[in-house]
Chains A and B, each alone.
Chain A
Amino acid sequence: MLKVIELKRTVTDSNDRDAALLRGELKERGIFLINLMSAPGSGKTTLLSRTITDLAGEAAIGVMEADIASDVDAARIKALGAESIQVHTDGMCHMDAGMTRAGLEGMEDRPGIVFLENIGNLICPAEFDTGAHKNVMILSVPEGDDKPLKYPLMFTKSDALVITKTDTLPYFDFDIEKAASRAKALNPDIAVFPVSAKTGEGMRAWEDWLISSRGEWNDA
């Protein structure tokens, strides 16, 4: 005879607990972890490369590249002289807290900012807490300003929205004000940074946000 046990647990419960634990462990190690999410090709690796170069001397930056199978992004970051490690998710479409912890164990124990370049996908990564201290998403100009309407959860979970490839604005019907107000309707606290990682336009405001967020976290 089987006994019925009522649970009423959400499926992500155990991951949520694990993520909260990891956030604490990282605080002990002095690692400020930022989970970077976007659709494939939005410009995550390019934004990180530019940020690493711009902040050289101001902050130690490491990158954990999550990819389904390849490791070209890790090589791009390493070429800049920054610490980078590659995590393969073996077909999974998102990183969870357990995978993030395992990946970070391979990183040098040095206080600073670590970016997790999550799998390129706007749905699944939004549903799993990685243990990061801040969530940042990228929306690139060619993708269109209606993305907040199509993928609301991602915008709700992000602390900052970086609108990249603003150098291509002349070629697309992308309205930055519209994109920002649609994002803010879903998440009034979201910080919005229009940037071009190619020309450098707008990069300083994003980098200042990084430095000040890390400072606030450090003092808290």
Chain B
Amino acid sequence: MHELGIVKHVIKTLEEVAAENDVRRIGSVTLRIGEVSGVVVEQLVDCWNYFREKNALVRGAELKVELVEALTRCTECETVYKTVPQGKICPNCGSGSTYLLVGNEFSIKEIEAELNGDPPADGQGGRS
């Protein structure tokens, strides 16, 4: 299952980022996922909800997903069109000489994090 591997890689990347930025705990993670990246968002969320409990850094962290609409450009007539549902053939001139402009991405956009040295977020001593 593809989503399982992806979640493992997301967590590995977050561990690196946490070490670099002195992060104690992550509250949320925002992913940007292209419409034609092949990732099944519901499965990804399921895998995330399972794996986040096994890792203190991301325990309870919310996974937010920003879907990126896929766009294709035609090299013959320069038309930019929606990849879904049109596909590889340009709707304007019928050429098959097209390429995907955006829509294949899979990146971690940002995280919300508690840094080492921040007051604990569980209420005692923190802001109300």
A14 at the B interface (CB under 8 A): yes
The one of B5, B12, B112, B126 that contacts A4, using a Cβ cutoff of 8 Å: B112
Interface of A is mostly: mixed
- Residue A79 interfacial (CB < 8 Å): no
Rounded to whole angstroms, the CA-CA distance of A12 and B31 in the bound complex is 13
Contact A96–B112 (Cβ < 8 Å) = no
With A8-B107, A11-B108 known as contacts, the answer to whether A2 contacts B113 (CB < 8 A) is: yes
**Nearest A residue to B107 by beta-carbon distance?**
A10
CB neighbours (8 Å) of B23 from chain A are 5
Give, as a whole number of angstroms, the nearest-CB distance from B101 to chain A.
Answer: 15
CA distance A43 to B12 in the complex (A): 34
Contact present for B110 and A92 (CB under 8 Å) = no
Whether B110 contacts A7 by the Cβ 8 Å rule is: yes
Does chain A have a CB within 8 A of B92? Answer: no
In the complex, which residue of chain A has the Cβ closest to the Cβ of B112? A2
**Chain A positions within 8 Å of B2 at CB level:** 93-94, 123-124
Chain B interface category by residue count: 20 to 34
Among B49-57, B66-74, B75-83, B114-122, the one that faces the other chain is B114-122
Number of A-B contacts (CB under 8 A): 82
B27:A14 contact, CB within 8 angstroms: no
Out of B16, B105, B111, B121, name the residue touching A5 (CB < 8 Å): B111
Chain A interfacial residues counted at CB < 8 A: 24
A9 touches B9 (CB 8 A): no
Q: Please judge, given known A-B contacts A5-B21, A6-B109, whether A94 and B13 are in contact too, CB under 8 Å.
A: no
Interface string of A3-36 (1 = CB under 8 A from B): 1111111111111000000000000000000000
Residue of A nearest to B31 (CB): A11
From 59 to 104 in chain B, residues with beta carbon under 8 angstroms from any chain A beta carbon are 88
Q: Is the CB of A2 within 8 A of B106?
A: no
Separation in Å of the A213 CB from the closest CB of chain B? 28
Q: Given A7-B17, A92-B4, check contact A14 B12 (CB 8 Å).
A: yes
CB-CB < 8 A to A96: which residues of B? 5, 9
B1:A123 contact, CB within 8 angstroms = no
A128 within 8 A of B: yes
Q: How many angstroms between the C-alpha atoms of A94 and B6 in the bound complex?
A: 10
Q: What is the CA–CA distance of A162 and B17 in the complex, to the nearest angstrom?
A: 40
- In Å, the complex CA distance between A1 and B113 comes to 9
Judged by a CB distance under 8 angstroms, whether A91 is at the interface is yes
Query: Could you list which residues of chain A lie within 8 angstroms of chain B, going by C-beta atoms?
Result: 1-15, 91-94, 96, 123-124, 128, 149
Residues of B within 8 A of A (CB): 1-2, 4-6, 9-10, 12-13, 16-17, 21, 23, 27-28, 31, 38, 88, 105-115, 118, 121, 126-127
A-B contact pairs, 9 of them (CB 8 A): A1-B126, A3-B112, A3-B113, A4-B110, A7-B17, A8-B109, A9-B108, A14-B12, A128-B5
